[in-house]
Structure 1
Amino acid sequence: MSNYRQLSSAERFTIARLLAAGQSYRQIAAALDRQPSTIAREVRRNSGAQVGYRPDYAQQLTAARRWSGARLERDADLRASVLERLAAGWSPEQIAGRLAYEAGVPVISHETIYRFVYAQLKRTNDRRWRFYLPRAKYKRGWRTKGGWPRPAGRCSIHERPPAIATRNQPGHWEADTMLFSQTGQAILIVHERHTRLTMALRHDSLQAEPVATALIALLAPVPKPLRRSITFDNGTEFNRHYRIASQLGLDTFFCDPHAPWQKGGVENAIGRLRKSLPRKTNLDSLPGDSLNAILARHNNTPRKCLGFRTPAEAFIPLHFKCESTPGSRPG
């Protein structure tokens, strides 16, 4: 039995000519010394709905199916959509998930997007392509675990109720400060574990009393059912945690020393915000509404853990539900 060989351009022209002359698949197969099934498959796969079987069109379809490059290199519309969302700070996984969420069927995998970006890095030798990736890194880092004793009067993260760890219950927050190269510049960040909503406030003082005042002001407008607990690291700026707990009516917990990754939600949020607010940023040079715009973009980016809804889409209904319930407003 001879090995199958692809039809040539000349054979496709002969098929088109003989079809136009009214010959059957068997007659065309005999003329080309091919199997009738080969002719039938060729006509079925490479005919256009409007143009019928044309040799040049058939050749183009065959070449497209045999394309070995990345899908994003041959689908201009999909490539433009993906690059636009990458430029807006979405991760490949968020893009793939949101496209599937919108279309109702899988459109592209996040691994395909990663391979496309890394292929451009290698092909073009343009290091700027890495800035399309969530952290703009070439390699992923590893976390280390600390073990220094915790100051007295702080409740360990290991004593948190299991409901907090599962993220199934709203109202549990994490807090941290985002620091910059310019001395005395900082942003106070709070992150809700269930909906992944992030709020922030520029607050350059890292003294405990002003930080407590700022945190209270940031969280006080949130309905009381959405203020259950807050988790900190062991920075001295959170030494007035008991005042925060008293005035907001929530529980406070602390990570192990030198293990800030235990409050991974806010750490992840800060990592994502770094793309728009790198450490070298001078906050004094930012326009007045820049921080709010960055937060809005962050909170309106879909998340896999939310079924590719956005944090805003997850949090706002909870907020309105609490606001409409008697006695849910903070005192």
Structure 2
Amino acid sequence: MKTSEVPEGMRRQWRADRALRPAMRSPGRPQPSRAVQRQFWRLIAAGVTTAEAALAVGVSVPVGSRWFRHAGGMPPLTLTEPTGRYLSFEEREEIAILRAQGRGVRSIARTLGRDPGTISRESRRNAATRSGKLEYRATVAQWKAQEAAKRPKTAKLVANLRLRDYVQDRLSGKVTGPDGTPVEGPVTPTWKGLNKPRRQDRRWATSWSPEQISHRLKLDFPDDESMRISHEAIYQALFIEGRGALKRELVACLRTGRALRQPRERSRNKPGGHVGAEVVISQRPAEAADRAVPGHWEGDLVIGTGRSAIGTLVERRSRATILVHLPRLDGWGEHPPVKNGPALGGYGAVAMNAALAAAITTLPQQLRKTITWDRGKELSGHAAFTLETGTKVFFADPHSPWQRPTNENTNGLLRQYFPKGTDLSRWSADDLEAVAHTLNNRPRKTLGWKTPAEVFGEALQSLKQAGVATTG
């Protein structure tokens, strides 16, 4: 039917339905509803992985990964539920079912508790038209409603060139010496958008944080309200694709250098591949926390140059220290390292288990109950270590050195003997034993000026007396 043959009243209704609505591209397969996307981002905010969140809301893993990547890890929509003013996807599904049953507009409106005009407009405006006639489908109607509801604003950094230049200069400007001479820094490879900022050199830049830029604007332009922007808006301009103000490669100028925002909950007590829920520090016995009972240890590595390291064990109650010798294995330095090959540096999982077991099993079982370790992969074989020695291993939370305070303090003391930037493989087991003996015989204020050796010796003596009493 030609448009000229359509009655004028219907043509006026067409014009009213399309008023203020831009041309809409063909959706192909319509995206899932906003309710699904909102639930996806709620799971992301709760610390769930992208793959698990995608499967939980019923979309494929590639789709969920695309949502996360295109949004820069930041929720692109509000997570609060919309009010009942607007039709929900469930109501649109009900409309589609009732229309297929031949129900009229007023009957559908009574069933849903809506105004008949709402149902009439919904059936006309959001119906699918690709078949050549109006055909109401819930998924297409939801997509059309979501597209029509968008009210995109022009980003402040796009509209205000002066503000954008200020932000970009403080974020990515050249490094200069005190005399103003530019310093180029290292030659950097092409930015690929990968989320691995520390694996290669990054371009030296001014690198003010977005929060520093946001607050400094108030000092530099106290009377110019147009020179204001929140730090969150700067992060959005960097992380979210399509914002158009700042190039994505400028994320390399941030301190972390991440190309995507990391949800806060993911970084809290996030277990690595070798750390299960049963060995996190929250599962450690309560007696280990108050230092009242001996036998609970803290451990870590002191790292040197050339893949050299020394293992450290510190008893929480007495502060007694054991240094674990980790010599490099045969073949070190003779051939280039092989990816996924054996770790020849001396502190791979197998070598670490053997050396640590040899050091800890010299003690009675009552004095080697638990070890609290850092999240390093060197103790990824902790299950085999526990079976061999009977000593349970627990892991501190990520980026939480205060959960191993005794070990961290001892490692600081050890740097007097093993400075950073030195090759630690030159020291023999006897040398390490001598340094440990020195530390164990230094008086400590926290021990009432007793030495760790004296306090640990008292614990050993009490075990011996208890054994004799039990035998008698």
Using structure 2 for the length normalisation, give the TM-score. Answer: 0.36
Label 1:322 to 1:231 Cα distance change in 2 as closer, same or farther (>3 A): same
Report the Cα distance in structure 2 between the residues aligned to 1:286 and 1:225, rounded to whole angstroms: 31
User: Which residue of structure 2 lines up, in the alignment, with residue 200 of structure 1?
Assistant: 323
Counterpart for residue 297 of structure 2 = 173
Report if aligned partners of 2:325, 2:429 keep a CA contact under 8 Å in 1: no
TM-superposed CA distance for 1:319, in Å, is 1.9
One of 283, 287, 292 as aligned partner of 1:159:
283
Matches of 2:297 and 2:461 in 1, distance apart? Answer: 18
2:268 to 144, 147, 159: 147
> 1:306 and 1:283 mapped to 2: Cα distance?
30
Q: Which amino acid aligns with 2:379?
A: F
Please give the per-residue CA displacement for 1:34-57, whole angstroms capped at 9, x wherever unaligned: xxxxxxxxxxxxxxxxxxxxxxxx
Alignment partner of 1:278 is 2:401? no
1:253 match: 394
CA shift in 2, pair 1:241/1:284, >3 Å: closer
Closer, same or farther in 2 for the Cα pair 1:320/1:234, shift >3 Å?
A: same
Is the contact between residue 396 and residue 404 of structure 2 (CA under 8 Å) also seen in structure 1? Answer: yes
Q: Match of 1:310?
A: 451
Which runs of 5 or more residues in structure 2 are unaligned? 1-266, 328-345
Could you say which residue in structure 2 is the equivalent of 1:267? 408
TM-score normalized with structure 1 length: 0.51
RMSD: 2.4
Deviation at 1:307? 0.8
Inter-partner Cα distance in structure 1 for 2:464 and 2:312:
23
Q: Structure 2 CA distance, aligned partners of 1:317 and 1:207?
A: 35
1:319 matched to 2:460: yes
The one-character-per-residue Cα deviations of 1:192-228 (angstroms, maximum 9, x if unpaired) are 0010000002214121121111111101010111111
CA distance in structure 2 between the partners assigned to 1:261 and 1:312 by the alignment: 24
Question: What one-letter code is carried by the residue in structure 1 that aligns with 2:402?
Answer: W
- Alignment check: 8 A CA contact 1:201 1:218 kept: yes
Distance in 1, Cα, partners of 2:427 & 2:351: 23
Partner of 1:221: 362
Structure 2 counterpart of 1:158, one-letter code: S
1:173 touches 1:231 (CA, 8 Å); kept in 2?
yes
The percentage of aligned residue pairs carrying the same residue is 35
1:168-213 CA-partner distances (Å, limit 9, x unpaired): 11000111111112x1211111110010000002214121121111
Q: Rg: which structure is higher? A: 2
- 1:270-296 residue CA offsets vs partner (Å, 9 max, x unmatched): 111101110133335447743222211
Do 1:171 and 1:192's aligned partners in 2 also have CA atoms closer than 8 Å? yes
Equivalent residue for 2:384, pick from 212, 230, 243: 243
Deviation at 1:267, TM superposition (A): 1.1
Query: Which amino acid counterpart does residue 175 of structure 1 have in structure 2?
Result: G
Q: CA deviation at 1:148?
A: 5.7
SS at match of 2:289: helix
* Unaligned runs of at least 5 residues, structure 1: 1-145
- 1:165 positional shift: 0.8
> Match for 2:282: what amino acid?
H
Query: What CA deviation, in whole Å up to 9, does each residue of 1:12-42 have, x standing for no partner?
Result: xxxxxxxxxxxxxxxxxxxxxxxxxxxxxxx
- Evaluate the alpha carbon distance shift between residue 284 and residue 243 of structure 1 in structure 2; reply closer, same or farther with a 3 A threshold: closer
Query: Does the C-alpha gap of structure 1 residues 167 and 232 become closer, same or farther in structure 2, counting only changes over 3 Å?
Result: same
Distance 1:264-1:325 versus aligned 2 partners, 3 A rule: same
Partner of 1:212: 353
Partner AA of 1:178 in structure 2: V
Q: How many pairs does the alignment contain? A: 183
For 1:284 and 1:252, the matched residues in 2 are separated by 26
Q: Report the secondary structure of 1:314's partner residue.
A: helix
Structure 1 position 297, deviation (Å): 1.3
Letter in 1 for 2:323: A
- Cα distance, 1:235 vs. partner? 0.6
